Chains A and B, each alone.
Chain A
Amino acid sequence: MFRLFGYFIEIIRGILITARHFIVNMVFHILNLFGIKTKRKGAFTIQYPEQKTEIAERHRSLHRLMKREDGKPRCVACMLCETVCPSECIYIEATEDPDPEIQKYPSTFIIDLSRCCFCGFCVEACPEDAIRMDTGEVEFAQYNRKDMVLDLESLLNEPK
């Protein structure tokens, strides 16, 4: 019986907390409805498509491949990113580069975004700083899977 009593106290405390949240938020909602600006809003909701948050500086978004000064990919096809990728979504085919300083470059570089888990390991692994995930592009949903597969051309020309 005594334990039951404590239970009821807690039950009532619980409903007082939620009721407090309701009443406080409702006051702010009503103030805002009548155009009175308050520092606190009634809700933390961000109305997404119309209203967007700042993307954090060290975010990870859509990949891009960096270019050298002459426009060729900075990537040397070392396959480190392909090896480290936990989702196995990078596919690289290497070709010989005439420049002996570079030796190799990718003739094919495919990232399958539908499998990518955005872990950023590829960026960490790259010795040439050739792949980055800093485009700030986060809305790339597509209607079919083929459109989620990015090739060398599109990766090189991602907008920054």
Chain B
Amino acid sequence: MIDVLIILVKFVGAIVWFLVLSLYLTWAERKESAVMQDRVGANRANFFGIRVLGLFQPFADAIKMMTKEDFTPEFSKKFLHNLAPFLSFFFVAVTIATIPFGSPIQISGKEIPLQVVDLNVGILFVLAFLALSIYGVILSGWVSNNRWTLLGGLRGSAQLISYEVALGLSLIGIVMVFPSLQFSEIVGFQSEVLFGWLPKWGIFLQPLGFIIFLMAAMAESERVPFDLPEGESEIVGFFTEYGGLKYGLYMFTDFMKVLIISCLLTTLFFGGYHVPWLSAEGFHFPWGGEWLLPYWLVVVFQVIMFNLKVFFFCWLQILVRWTYPRFRYDQLMDFGWKFLIPLSLFNIAATAFFMSL
């Protein structure tokens, strides 16, 4: 009973963290793109005249979305039309359950890992559910009964096929060097150090795998360099027939994907919650220094570090989204099939070669 309660509390905590950060990612995206382009960005939304850098903007957006008409076209299949956005949202939202946020904490003799569920097939679970979220896209494209949405949905599925393979193959390298599919174990392996000073992070063991995963994962999030299912300037996209909150849900799912990809990049390639040279007792610097800390402070450091790494990758993805123009459709497929997949196969071969030495 108490175990179920603990899991429930952890799940609510993780989901709230996930949703609030995704909400503020919209603000971060606005502001970051503005700063990149020498602008100021949305700063007018206020609460009784208090502006604080436009931090209320996401709420203004949410209120706008809610008060808009929730339109279901006459010629669509009503039930599926309503179901599709929630499908996408749900499949992305549950993936947060597998991400470890920090070392296990002890409360009254009970060890509680800061992770909702520690699945022994964590990587496969996340990949599978991220891939399933494309069903929301395809479904919305199909049930809207509109040519453009159908094209958007088809493009979404074609893009998924060309990227999912590279995404999975790029992770095989990681699974080879950290022999596990369980996130907690992968993160555990990354707490060690190489040559006495370099943290044993995935990026140092798998630089090529990291690059492939980064590109494939950004294609997964369906944002600008790879936003073909949406393609706002040509087909408007799979959500053409959606309005109001359901449209907002699709937008929100995009930001959630950005966040979950940042979490994955952190967990798999950047040591998860590990702070360099910080072990359970405190810091052991490679130059000989030591700074011993109580265990709870170590956990706090780790959670902060995890968040900082996630923020960095969110920053990077927004930077990419506002820097590059879109791929053409055939270029994108070529890029997936003819470049990323051979490269990831090469990565697997190279990893195997180095490991057998």
Interface residues of A (CB under 8 A from B): 4, 11, 14-15, 18-19, 21-22, 25-26, 29, 42-45, 47
Contacts and interface: CB of A to CB of B under 8 A. Distances in A.
A43 B36 CA distance: 9
Interface residues of B, number: 14
B35 A22 contact: yes
15 contacts: A4-B339, A11-B324, A15-B319, A15-B323, A18-B323, A19-B319, A22-B32, A22-B35, A22-B36, A29-B35, A42-B35, A42-B40, A43-B40, A44-B38, A47-B40
A113 B40 CA distance: 32
Which 9 pairs show the lowest CB-CB distances between chains A and B?
Answer: A45-B40, A18-B323, A43-B40, A22-B36, A25-B35, A18-B36, A15-B323, A21-B36, A44-B38
Nearest to A11: B324
A14 B36 CA distance: 12
Contact of B39 (A14, A19, A45): A45
A108 B167 CA distance: 74
Contacts of B34: 43
Contacts, number: 39
Contact of B35 (A11, A15, A43): A43
Given A4-B339, A45-B40, A26 B323 contact: no
A21 B40 CA distance: 13
B277 interface: no
B37 interface: yes
Interface in B280-335: 319-320, 322-324
Q: In this complex, which of B32, B40, B324 has the most chain A Cβ atoms within 10 angstroms of its Cβ? A: B40
Among A22, A25, A43, A45: residue with most chain B CB under 10 A: A22
A4 B343 CA distance: 13
Contacts of A47: 40
Contacts of A44: 38-39
A15 B225 CA distance: 13
A26 B38 CA distance: 10
A26 B35 contact: yes
A43 B319 CA distance: 17
Contacts of B35: 21-22, 25-26, 29, 42-43
B90 to A, nearest CB: 33
A18 B319 contact: yes
A110 B147 CA distance: 49
B308 to A, nearest CB: 16
Interface string B36-48: 1111100000000
A11 B37 CA distance: 18
Contacts of A18: 36, 319, 322-323
Contacts of A26: 35
A116 to B, nearest CB: 30
Nearest to A4: B339
A102 B38 CA distance: 56
A67 B245 CA distance: 58
Contacts of A45: 39-40
